[in-house]
Chains A and B, each alone.
Chain A
Amino acid sequence: MGKEYIEKRTVISPEGNPIEVDPLKDYFCDAAPKSCKSASGIIEKFANWARSESLWVLGFGTGCGAIEMRPLMTPRFDAYRFGIQWRPTPRQASVFVISGYLSVKTLKRVVRSYEQMQNPKFVVALGSCTINGGMYWDSYNTINRLDHYMPVDVYIAGCMPRPEALLAGFDKLKHIIREGRGEGANKYAENFDWYKGNQKKIIKDWDMPDYNW
């Protein structure tokens, strides 16, 4: 298959001028991510408290676990009580809930979304599929271990975990952030080559830049 959408091409602007476009260079930053130093002492503690009390979740349902997030955000379990709310775009989100199994095709979109999120960012992996493949462990198209492709802060085991378990998981995540251990984004930047290598081994049809910032 030709990939015209990532090849260099000339487009006509609305004013009628021809413009050279190189999508991989023009639309994305091509530099690898850098690890950020944290602020010192009480400032960082305050920042961490603030981060932990406003977790903005990316509304991306990857598998069957997405169905558990609907009761969580509606009045019965009402996660908004705990400062957890869902956002429509990765640019506004700080928590990525991988809800269930990931096929290779979805993993590609997940990687793109994860890299577009602002630092600091946290990953909550939901269900046993993200831990060792769960009931799809021998499938030809679902990954087995999420932590080979992106750093994971909290695992919530179960198939599927109930919304109560999710709330407990978010509570755990808050503790981790307040203790200053929510360093997923830095870990990703430091081990960038290893994560990229694993991702590229799985995703054969790689038609995006190395860092989708």
Chain B
Amino acid sequence: MQTIIENLQKHFQVVSYHQQRENLGFLIASKEVAVGLITHLRDYEGFAHLVLLTAVDWIEDEHFQLTYLLHHPEKKVDLGVRVMISRENAEMYSIHHLWEQARTYQRELREMFGINFPGSPDVDKPFILEGWEEIPPYRRDFDTKEYSEKTYFPRPGRETHDPAEYMKKKLYPNE
């Protein structure tokens, strides 16, 4: 793993590298470098398999974190490439030319997070939500409970308790 990273640093500017386990590491790359870096990892280092492509919404820092998890089938190591992109007009370069299946991930991210991948096939087609009109539901400023209550005819009678308060009352009623 270390040799791979050292090799990589000769070619690219790797911002930070974090070794999670012996066979799993994460590095952060900038948006412009990322696709070149992933291409290099696939074609020269042998990370032939795209395990997943997912996103995290860091709403406080006002960016999305994309994670490309790559797997090396011979050395049995995983490498995650993290890319931070802005939350405003979220857009990333598509990697469907590297792995055909990336188009499905990108379609899902487009729908669930509203991250656009220009040029990716079918990226604008609805994936799971058909006819969604609100802001994308995986964004953290989307209130799923409020949406559910106003849309799906909630059945009255459901009570919720704060677990700590409830157990205190139940176990120590005299205090």
A-contact 0/1 string along B70-87, CB 8 Å cutoff: 000000000000000000
Known: A133-B154, A133-B155, A141-B137. A205 touches B131 (CB 8 A): yes
Instruction: Please classify the interface of chain A as helix (H, G, I), strand (E, B), loop, or mixed, using the class held by over half of its residues.
Output: loop
B43 at interface by CB-CB < 8 Å: no
> Which of A49-57, A118-126, A196-204 is the interface stretch?
A196-204
List, in ascending order, chain B residues with CB within 8 A of A131's CB: 155
List, in ascending order, chain A residues with CB within 8 A of B153's CB: 143-145, 148, 198
Cα–Cα, bound, A143→B152 (Å): 5
Cα–Cα, bound, A74→B158 (Å): 36
User: A1–B154 contact, CB under 8 A?
Assistant: no
User: B124–A1 contact, CB under 8 A?
Assistant: yes
**A140, A205, A206: which contacts B148 (Cβ < 8 A)?**
A140
Known: A132-B155, A132-B158. A144 touches B148 (CB 8 A): yes
A138 at interface by CB-CB < 8 Å: yes
The tally of residues in B whose CB lies under 8 Å from a CB in A reads 24
**A1, A104, A105, A133: which contacts B125 (Cβ < 8 A)?**
A1
B129 at interface by CB-CB < 8 Å: yes
Known: A132-B158, A140-B147. A105 touches B152 (CB 8 A): no
**B124, B130, B155, B157: which contacts A104 (Cβ < 8 A)?**
B130
Q: What's the nearest-Cβ distance from chain B to residue A60, in Å?
A: 18
List, in ascending order, chain B residues with CB within 8 A of A144's CB: 148, 152-155
User: A140–B155 contact, CB under 8 A?
Assistant: no
Interface residues on A, range: 20 to 34
Instruction: Please classify the interface of chain B as helix (H, G, I), strand (E, B), loop, or mixed, using the class held by over half of its residues.
Output: loop
List, in ascending order, chain A residues with CB within 8 A of B144's CB: 138-140
Cα–Cα, bound, A104→B124 (Å): 19
Q: What's the nearest-Cβ distance from chain A to residue B120, in Å?
A: 16
B133 at interface by CB-CB < 8 Å: yes
Cα–Cα, bound, A203→B132 (Å): 9
List, in ascending order, chain A residues with CB within 8 A of B131's CB: 203-206
Within B106-141, which residues are at the interface with A (CB < 8 Å)? Answer: 124-126, 128-134, 137
List, in ascending order, chain A residues with CB within 8 A of B134's CB: 140
User: B155–A138 contact, CB under 8 A?
Assistant: no
Q: What's the nearest-Cβ distance from chain B to residue A27, in Å?
A: 20
List, in ascending order, chain B residues with CB within 8 A of A137's CB: 148, 154, 158
- Nearest residue, chain B, Cβ from A204: B131
A174 at interface by CB-CB < 8 Å: no
Q: What's the nearest-Cβ distance from chain A to residue B154, in Å?
A: 5
List, in ascending order, chain A residues with CB within 8 A of B155's CB: 131-133, 144-145
B-contact 0/1 string along A185-213, CB 8 Å cutoff: 00000000000001001111110000000
Cα–Cα, bound, A132→B137 (Å): 21
What are 11 inter-chain pairs, A to B, with CB distance below 8 A?
Answer: A1-B125, A103-B128, A104-B130, A105-B130, A140-B134, A140-B148, A141-B128, A143-B153, A144-B155, A202-B151, A204-B133
